[in-house]
Amino acid sequence: MSQSPLPILITGAGQRIGLHCAERLLDDGHPVIISYRREREGVAHLRSRGAITLAADFADATGILTFIETLKAHTDGLRAIVHNASEWHSETPGQEAELFQRMFSVHMLAPYLINLHGAALLRHGGAADIVHIGDDVTRRGSSKHIAYAASKAGLDNLTLSFAASLAPQIKVNGIAPALIQFNPDDDEAYRRKALAKSALGIEPGAEVIYQSLRYLLDNPYVTGTILTVNGGRHLI
């Protein structure tokens, strides 16, 4: 008798890319567990579709470890873990140290601890994946988001280490997006400038990240790889 499919965890899936991927995974028949920090319309919609929604703040180790315990109380197995939760902040004078701590915690400490403590949930004998959502900006760094880019570069390195450490039972890969979806407060001048930075010059929307996630989940022979989804920014 076939077992019911194991859930896929997506962190920070209350809005935008994470929410889109959670909705699409539900469309494709996967049970979904999400973490969210603030209650949002998207969280309520996922709940109404049967997703398990767990409140979590990854700003420090205590919040991350508390989430892990809550997660284990809600499932004894996972098909995949998608580390999507993220903050995109530039340096604010006088708050540099706090910003760096926050960037490190959400982009590196959370994936590190959740992977170490969550690996047992993925070791069920079937297909198992970890996907880190990084940023194409790690190719060159960022003069305006220094701590953000550094923490995303650290996440890229975690992809390589965990891929080596968890093989062959668990595949570990990354996705490195560049402009996917503007924020509501991005003005026309910013949008024009951002679009001009890539060869394809478009704002593609979240589906291109779901397509990349689908590829990584479905391909049994890809691990330690970081998929660039950047419209050809490296060509400009």
Residues tagged active-site = 148
Distance (Å, whole) CA 18 – CA 204: 15
Give Cβ neighbours of residue 119 (< 8 Å, ≥ 6 apart).
166, 170
Burial 86-103 (b: 16+ CB within 10 A, else e): bbeeeeeeeeeeebbebb
In whole angstroms, what is the distance from residue 234 CA to residue 207 CA?
21
Amino acid at 107: H
Find the shortest distance in angstroms from Cβ 179 to ligand LV4SOB2L. 4
The binder of ligand NDP chosen from 133, 149, 150, 213 (CB under 6 A) = 133
Q: Least distance from C-beta 135 to ligand LV4SOB2L, angstroms? A: 5
Binding site for ligand LV4SOB2L (CB under 6 A): 86-88, 135, 178-179, 183, 194
Kindly state the smallest distance separating residue 220's Cβ from ligand LV4SOB2L, in Å: 30
Return the residue of 111, 174, 177, 231 that touches ligand NDP, per CB under 6 A.
177
**Which of 1, 2, 38, 187 touches ligand NDP by CB under 6 A?**
38
Among 7, 14, 111, 174, binds ligand NDP (CB under 6 A): 14
Nearer to ligand LV4SOB2L, 6 or 9 (CB): 9
Indicate the SS3 state at residue 20: helix
Please tell me whether residue 126 adopts helix, strand or coil conformation: coil
54, 61, 85, 229 from 172: Cα distances, Å = 23, 22, 17, 17
Of 109, 103, 166, the C-alpha closest to 135 is 103
The distance of closest approach from Cβ of residue 194 to ligand NDP in the complex, given in angstroms and rounded to an integer, is 9
Cα angle for residues 235, 185, 231 (degrees, 5° grid):
15
Q: Does 33 bind ligand NDP (CB under 6 A)?
A: no
The answer, yes or no, to whether the previous bond of 168 is cis (omega within 30 of 0) is yes
User: Is 129 an interacting residue with respect to ligand NDP (CB under 6 A)?
Assistant: no
| Least Å from the CB of residue 87 to ligand LV4SOB2L | 6
From the list ligand NDP, ligand LV4SOB2L, none, which binds 194 (C-beta under 5 to 8 Å, kind-based)? ligand LV4SOB2L
Contacting positions for ligand NDP (CB under 6 A): 12, 14-18, 36-38, 40, 56-59, 84-88, 106, 133, 135, 177-181
